[in-house]
Chain A
Amino acid sequence: MSLLSNTSVLLGKELRTEFRSRELLTTTIVFILMVVVLFSFTFDPTTAESRRFGGGLLWLAFLFAASLMLQPCFLREQNNDTLSSLRLAISDPFAIFLAKLVANTLFLMLTELLMLPVFAVLYNVPILPTFHWLLLVLFLGSLGISVAGTALSAISAQARMRELLLPLLLLPILTPVLVASAEVTVGLLDRDPVMQWKGIGFLAVFDLVFLTALWMFGEYLLEE
């Protein structure tokens, strides 16, 4: 019970600080918009090409956005040593991770949902017929990125070359999530959409495994 109540209090804090400063969301949305617009004008793809490559392009843009978003996740806590005050105040440090990864997933999904209509217009790919399935892929993919990214952000925040370390650790670990998410998305953007349940199953298992690992070993990541 205290895990859930602490998580909800901390999630409130994460949302309040972000919506007050809008640092992460503004930067990420502008960045991801530039990527999608630039690709559209550079390659000027036909609808058929967009259907084939759109999934990969979208998830590449989401990955860039995520690496921007995840970097300050634990760095912010170092300014005034607030991570120590949180660890002093709560009995289960998993609440800190849970609040941060829920916040990261929400921010990432918000960015993705804002980007989908822009993508649909610029690349001339209808997304409405399979929108509910796209939401499922976006959720599972974003959750996977957030779970792994939050854990790695905690590790990299304590390192000397922290700005370089996070992307270096993040990219290899997230490759399976990105490949699965992109494949499922390509299937859903097809002229005859297909839901690749194998990919969805893989994403769900990945999320579950990383979430369990974070629950079991997260405490050690926060130690000085």
Chain B
Amino acid sequence: MTSLKVPPTGLRFENIDKRYGGLYALRRVSFEIAPSECVVLAGRNGSGKTTLLRIAAQIVRPTAGKLSFPGVKTNSANHDDARQGRPGYVAHTTMVYDELTAEENLILFAKLQNVEQPEARAQDLLRDVGLYARRDSPVRTFSRGMRQRIAIARALIHKPSVLLLDEPATGLDPIGITWLASSLQQLNQAGCTVVMSLHGESEISALATRAVRLDAGAVIADTQSGASLHSILIFGNA
């Protein structure tokens, strides 16, 4: 990974509620993630993991409560400060344009986020994710695993201090999963805070220093110790 050191940024959820009509997706969620932590969100389907990640990515506004990024200078006109408060987000979909090539997509998002030398940054990332040889191919021609790689590259284009990943191993083959685990480890060691939702244990979950389990939109377990963390990921209890 070409990512260098990033400024330390944490994540704080304070009494977050999210309601869709009468249905509570999240209920009074409060916890804080320290800078450079690697946190796994665990829980069954529909437990609120994706909603929480989308709120952290500032795509979805919470019905009540507050999200903040300790360490980020607010009201700064500086592009670097503005980027620091913008997490990188890998969702279930690629969040890139199928009609554009891999390189065009990355340059587009680099320019939108005022990244210096967008072309060079895009090419570096394409080398990192192993898509440099296919940089001129439209994304619609990519396999599922390649699409996941370009989605990860897009999320990293602005060197985010916080990286949010929603089931990032989806579609990746064993080699891809090993690559992702090693990339996330390097990013985390460079100071990037990583929050990801996962099902079960894998090479990627082995990076976690903390696990938070959600059930019916509420936090039911939060642990940093090895045995409990394993228990949360596998059995759903601390």
Interface presence of A16 (CB below 8 A) = yes
B112 and A80 contact, CB distance less than 8 A? no
Question: A13 CA to B158 CA in the complex, in Å?
Answer: 19
B-side contacts of A17, CB under 8 Å: 97, 99-100
Question: A82 CA to B150 CA in the complex, in Å?
Answer: 13
Interface presence of A192 (CB below 8 A) = no
B-side contacts of A87, CB under 8 Å: 58-59
Of chain A, the residue at the smallest CB distance from B113 is A89
Interface presence of B49 (CB below 8 A) = no
B-side contacts of A21, CB under 8 Å: 99
- Expressed in whole angstroms, the minimum distance between the Cβ of A97 and any Cβ of chain B is 15
Interface presence of A86 (CB below 8 A) = yes
Of B89, B100, B112, which one neighbours A86 at CB under 8 angstroms? B112
A-side contacts of B94, CB under 8 Å: 80
Interface presence of B34 (CB below 8 A) = no
Of B87, B95, B111, B158, which one neighbours A81 at CB under 8 angstroms? B95
What are the interface flags for A182-224 relative to B under an 8 Å C-beta threshold, 1 for contact and 0 otherwise? 0000000000000000000000000000000000000000011
Of B93, B99, B111, which one neighbours A20 at CB under 8 angstroms? B99
Interface presence of B82 (CB below 8 A) = yes
- Expressed in whole angstroms, the minimum distance between the Cβ of B158 and any Cβ of chain A is 8
What are the interface flags for B60-87 relative to A under an 8 Å C-beta threshold, 1 for contact and 0 otherwise? 1100000000000000000000100011
B100 and A88 contact, CB distance less than 8 A? no
A-side contacts of B87, CB under 8 Å: 88
Question: A17 CA to B87 CA in the complex, in Å?
Answer: 27
Question: A89 CA to B110 CA in the complex, in Å?
Answer: 9
Majority SS of interface residues in chain A? Answer: helix
Interface presence of B33 (CB below 8 A) = no
Of B82, B95, B104, B109, which one neighbours A80 at CB under 8 angstroms? B95
Interface size class of A (residues with CB under 8 A): 20 to 34
Interface presence of A46 (CB below 8 A) = no
B95 and A13 contact, CB distance less than 8 A? no
Of A5, A82, A88, which one neighbours B96 at CB under 8 angstroms? A82
What are the interface flags for A56-100 relative to B under an 8 Å C-beta threshold, 1 for contact and 0 otherwise? 000000000000000000000001111011111111000000000
A80 and B97 contact, CB distance less than 8 A? yes
Asked, given contacts A79-B98, A84-B59, A224-B59, whether A13 binds B93 with beta carbons under 8 Å apart, the answer is no
Question: A75 CA to B230 CA in the complex, in Å?
Answer: 42
Of chain A, the residue at the smallest CB distance from B114 is A2
Interface presence of B91 (CB below 8 A) = yes
A16 and B91 contact, CB distance less than 8 A? no
What are the interface flags for A1-41 relative to B under an 8 Å C-beta threshold, 1 for contact and 0 otherwise? 01001100110010011001100000000000000000000
Of chain B, the residue at the smallest CB distance from A87 is B59
B-side contacts of A20, CB under 8 Å: 99
Question: A115 CA to B59 CA in the complex, in Å?
Answer: 41
What are the interface flags for B24-64 relative to A under an 8 Å C-beta threshold, 1 for contact and 0 otherwise? 00000000000000000000000000000010011111000
Asked, given contacts A84-B91, A224-B60, whether A9 binds B98 with beta carbons under 8 Å apart, the answer is no
Of chain A, the residue at the smallest CB distance from B108 is A13
B59 and A82 contact, CB distance less than 8 A? no
- Expressed in whole angstroms, the minimum distance between the Cβ of A157 and any Cβ of chain B is 15
A80 and B96 contact, CB distance less than 8 A? yes
B109 and A89 contact, CB distance less than 8 A? yes
Interface presence of B154 (CB below 8 A) = yes
Of chain B, the residue at the smallest CB distance from A79 is B98
Question: A16 CA to B107 CA in the complex, in Å?
Answer: 13
Of A6, A13, A85, which one neighbours B100 at CB under 8 angstroms? A13
- Nearest first, the 5 A-B pairs at minimum CB distance are A85-B95, A89-B112, A81-B93, A17-B99, A84-B59
Tell me the B residues contacting A by CB distance below 8 Å: 54, 57-61, 82, 86-87, 89, 91, 93-100, 104, 108-109, 111-114, 154, 158
New A-B pairs, 6, CB < 8 Å, besides A5-B114, A17-B100 = A13-B97, A80-B94, A84-B95, A85-B89, A85-B109, A91-B82
Tell me the A residues contacting B by CB distance below 8 Å: 2, 5-6, 9-10, 13, 16-17, 20-21, 79-82, 84-91, 223-224
